[in-house]
Structure 1
């Protein structure tokens, strides 16, 4: 994608300061940018890079005042981070738009599968019987789409993803490499001899619109009914979502978190990395969980910040962490006091 600073400024509602005719070919970090690239300055800690960067253009806030002369053209905007996010989305969409809208001759698509307009199916991808893929969706190489799967419009399915029988994906969703949707839930019953007998998992996974699933993340199908991922949820890499879990709208979960079966997580929650949540629990709307927290009870009050294992008030968790660091010294002091008392 090549665009002049003036044209880009119109696109992102920016004010140009410098040469409006310079051509921008792509984004880069301010420390690494070269001629033709655009970068940004939002954190003052990176300002010194501005005076050395070889970038052609830099996004800055409208209030920013450089301390000395600079080489790049400046594009002044109201909110740098929001503008960068939107700009990266434009470049990503441009990359996807260049992909050919065709079914590879090396793909295997069942005769009963239904593909919408401008669907791309990559090499060595398998689309099984009665699967449907909505218009504009891009399915890259080596993806497996099982029997009766339904995928909405304008989705992007990265290489190696597996969407198993009967699962449903909404519109505008992104599944990253090796995500697994619809693996069996972890259901076993002990018999009288101490062996475990598998409980059939006959439900499905339903993912609503505007959801993003990270690489290597696994979402188990329900024992019965559906595991539900609501609209706008964002899941990081390497997350385990158990059977019959429900994750509420616009909740975000960081890498390596694990959610056991039949737990319901509310809307607009923020869950840190390596958080573990036990099964059959309810987590209230707006809950914030510090990384590596463990949740073993219902969280009923909304908009709480929690940390620790088992999780409790984040403010108390921070105080407790500080006190733990002081325990060796407190122990030595107590030993000295005991010695004096004994004497």
Structure 2
């Protein structure tokens, strides 16, 4: 990928200071640089490197005021880290060899493909699907009927987006993510067998969501399973049907969320946490790894731990006592023997 500073500034919504025709072909760390590279200054702790870097282009904030001469061309942007994220997505797509629409991809004539979309080898884009501007579809991705993919969203190899699901803008779905699989719904019968409940809803993933490899999000029975803006899901997470996850919540690997649970905004959830179905979790809740959530949490901003989970500090105090139980038992036994001896002596 070879691109001029001017074209980069247009792509990132920034402005150029310096030579607009200088070209770059790779990103670099600011302390390493190198001719033909683009770096960034997002933290003023690294400002000293701005004056020595050999990078050709440097991303900086709109309000950055250099105190020494600079050799790099500047691109000023509102959000440096956001711009870096966009930049790395594009460079990553190019490094993976995804550019344009592969002759070995299958794109339905009834699909809508916007300008700048890349579709890799053996990807399938079904009828009625809509791919937004600069979306990147890596090899072997499946996009079902009437799926909508937002601008600049990246789907890594093996991602499956099943019929009627919606993915927002600037999302990243890592390898083998499945969006829109059937929920786990079965009705018990008189003969003790189970009748499958067909799930006819969909999944809505809002903007700037990142979903880790092999995570699955089930479609709703009716209506929508919803992943709100800015949510970050780690690898190997199971999200059940009709779940809603609030904006900017983060969830670590191997967590399972049972159907119809509603998780609030700005929550932080550790790995291997299990949620019972139909629970409601308040905004700002923090849950320690391997906890089990067996009921709703209604008070916002609290930390929880254990299985079933209790308030975090209570668990820590209880665990501290638990470790001392053998000593406490021996002390109690000594006291009991002393009491028995004193009682016997009193009777004598």
User: Does TM, normalized by the shorter one, top 0.5?
Assistant: yes
Residues 89 and 185 (structure 1), Cα distance of their counterparts in 2 relative to 1, 3 Å cut: same
**Equivalent residues, number:** 294
Alpha-carbon shift at residue 154 of structure 1 (Å): 0.8
Question: Which secondary structure state, in structure 2, belongs to the residue aligned with residue 130 of structure 1?
Answer: coil
Partner of 1:15: none
**Inter-partner Cα distance in structure 2 for 1:261 and 1:248:** 15
Residues 36 and 212 (structure 1), Cα distance of their counterparts in 2 relative to 1, 3 Å cut: same
Partner of 1:178: 176
Residues 113 and 63 (structure 1), Cα distance of their counterparts in 2 relative to 1, 3 Å cut: closer
Partner of 1:89: 85
Q: Once the two structures are superposed, what CA deviation does each residue of 1:144-183 show, in whole Å capped at 9, x if it has no partner?
A: 1111111111100000111011111111111000100001
**Inter-partner Cα distance in structure 2 for 1:91 and 1:154:** 11
Partner of 1:256: 254
Q: Once the two structures are superposed, what CA deviation does each residue of 1:180-202 show, in whole Å capped at 9, x if it has no partner?
A: 00010000111111111111111
Partner of 2:120: 122
Q: 2:143 aligns with which of 119, 142, 145?
A: 145
Q: Once the two structures are superposed, what CA deviation does each residue of 1:102-158 show, in whole Å capped at 9, x if it has no partner?
A: 111111111211111111111111111211111110000111111111111110000
Q: Which runs of 4+ in 1 moved over 6 A?
A: 57-60
Partner of 2:28: 26
Partner of 2:331: 333
Partner of 2:133: 135
Name the Cα RMSD after superposition: 3.4
Alpha-carbon shift at residue 85 of structure 1 (Å): 5.3
Residues 330 and 87 (structure 1), Cα distance of their counterparts in 2 relative to 1, 3 Å cut: farther
Tell me the TM-score normalised to structure 2 length.
0.75
Alpha-carbon shift at residue 263 of structure 1 (Å): 0.6
Q: Give yes or no for contact 2:144–2:164 (8 Å, CA) kept in 1.
A: yes
Alpha-carbon shift at residue 337 of structure 1 (Å): 2.3
Residues 297 and 100 (structure 1), Cα distance of their counterparts in 2 relative to 1, 3 Å cut: closer
Q: Give yes or no for contact 1:27–1:88 (8 Å, CA) kept in 2.
A: no
Q: Which has the larger radius of gyration?
A: 2
Q: Give yes or no for contact 1:245–1:264 (8 Å, CA) kept in 2.
A: yes
Q: Once the two structures are superposed, what CA deviation does each residue of 1:30-89 show, in whole Å capped at 9, x if it has no partner?
A: xxx98969xxxxxxxxxxxxxxxxxxx999855999xxxxxx9589x99xxxx9956863
Unaligned runs of 5+ in 2: 3-11, 13-25, 65-78, 342-348
